[in-house]
Chain A
Amino acid sequence: MAEEKIIKRREFINTGVRFALGISLAGIGVAAARKATTEKWVWQIDPAKCTQCGRCATDCVKSPSAVKCIHAYEVCGYCDLCGGYFKPGVKKMETGGENHLCPTAAIQRKFIEEPYFEYVIIEELCIGCAKCVKGCSSFGNGSLHLQIRHDLCDNCNECAIARVCPSDAISRVPASQPYIIKGDFHGGSKA
Chain B
Amino acid sequence: MKSISQKIVLLSFFLLIFVQANAQRFPKPEFESGYEQPSPTTPEPRSNALEYLDVLILLASLSLASWLVIKRRSRRGVLWLSIFTLLYFGFYREGCICSVGSIQNITLALFDPAYKVSITVLIFFLLPLVFALFFGRTFCAGACPLGAIQDILVFRPVSLPVWVRKTLGFIPYLYLGLAVLYAATGTDFIICRYDPFVGFFRMDGPYTMIIIGIALLLLALFFARPYCRVFCPYGVLLNWMSRFSKYHMTITPAECISCKLCEPSCPFDAIEIPVSEKVRTQKVLRQNLKRFSLYALLIPVWMFIGGYAVSSSHVLLSKAHQDVYLSELLIAHPELKSDTKNLDIKAFLESGKTFDELVANASLIRAKFKTGGWFLGGFLGLVIGIMIMNQFVFRTKTIYEPHKGDCFSCGRCMDYCPVVKLK
Contact, CB under 8 Å: B94 / A154: yes
Q: Does B208 contact A (CB under 8 A)?
A: no
Interface residues of B in 15-70 (CB under 8 A from A): 24-29, 31-33, 35, 37-46, 48, 51
Q: Look across to chain B and name the residue whose beta carbon is closest to the beta carbon of A186.
A: B39
**Residues of A contacting B33 in the complex (Cβ-Cβ under 8 angstroms):** 112-113
B99-107, B166-174, B264-272, B368-376: which lies at the interface: B99-107
Report the Cα distance A94→B116, complex, angstroms.
50
Q: Does A8 contact B (CB under 8 A)?
A: no
Contact, CB under 8 Å: A36 / B45: no
**Residues of A contacting B51 in the complex (Cβ-Cβ under 8 angstroms):** 40
Report the Cα distance A38→B38, complex, angstroms.
34
Contact, CB under 8 Å: B28 / A178: no
B206 to chain A, nearest CB (A): 8
Mark contacts of B241-253 with chain A using CB atoms, 8 A cut-off: 1 yes-contact digit, 0 otherwise: 1011110000000
Report the Cα distance A35→B116, complex, angstroms.
5
Query: Which residue of the partner chain, among A74, A120, A155, contacts B28 with CB atoms under 8 Å?
Result: A74
Task: Classify chain B's interface size.
Answer: 35 or more
Q: Does B156 contact A (CB under 8 A)?
A: no
Q: Does A105 contact B (CB under 8 A)?
A: no
Q: Does A150 contact B (CB under 8 A)?
A: yes
Q: Look across to chain A and name the residue whose beta carbon is closest to the beta carbon of B95.
A: A154
Contact, CB under 8 Å: B40 / A70: yes
Q: Does B202 contact A (CB under 8 A)?
A: yes
Q: Does B117 contact A (CB under 8 A)?
A: yes
Q: Number of residue pairs across A and B with beta carbons under 8 Å? A: 178
Contact, CB under 8 Å: B26 / A140: yes
Contact, CB under 8 Å: B244 / A76: no
B78-86, B135-143, B339-347, B380-388: which lies at the interface: B339-347
**Residues of B contacting A167 in the complex (Cβ-Cβ under 8 angstroms):** 347, 350-351
B316 to chain A, nearest CB (A): 19
Contact, CB under 8 Å: A149 / B29: no
B247 to chain A, nearest CB (A): 11
Q: Does A6 contact B (CB under 8 A)?
A: yes
Given contacts A35-B117, A154-B96, A166-B348, contact A53 B28 (CB under 8 A): no
Query: Which residue of the partner chain, among A38, A77, A141, A157, contacts B192 with CB atoms under 8 Å?
Result: A157
Contact, CB under 8 Å: B346 / A18: no
Contact, CB under 8 Å: A25 / B130: yes
Given contacts A25-B126, A155-B46, A158-B192, contact A116 B29 (CB under 8 A): yes
A residues in contact (CB < 8 Å) with B: 3, 6, 14, 17-18, 21-22, 25, 28-29, 31-33, 35-42, 49, 51, 53-55, 61-63, 70-79, 112-113, 116, 118, 120, 123, 140-141, 149-151, 153-158, 160, 163, 166-168, 175, 178-179, 181, 185-188
Can you list 25 pairs linking A and B with CB atoms under 8 Å apart? A3-B396, A17-B244, A25-B129, A32-B109, A35-B115, A37-B117, A49-B351, A61-B204, A70-B41, A73-B37, A74-B28, A77-B26, A112-B33, A113-B35, A140-B26, A141-B25, A150-B44, A151-B44, A155-B45, A156-B96, A157-B189, A166-B347, A167-B350, A175-B48, A185-B39
Nearest 10 interchain pairs by C-beta? A77-B26, A166-B347, A187-B42, A151-B43, A158-B189, A150-B45, A167-B347, A18-B244, A113-B33, A35-B109
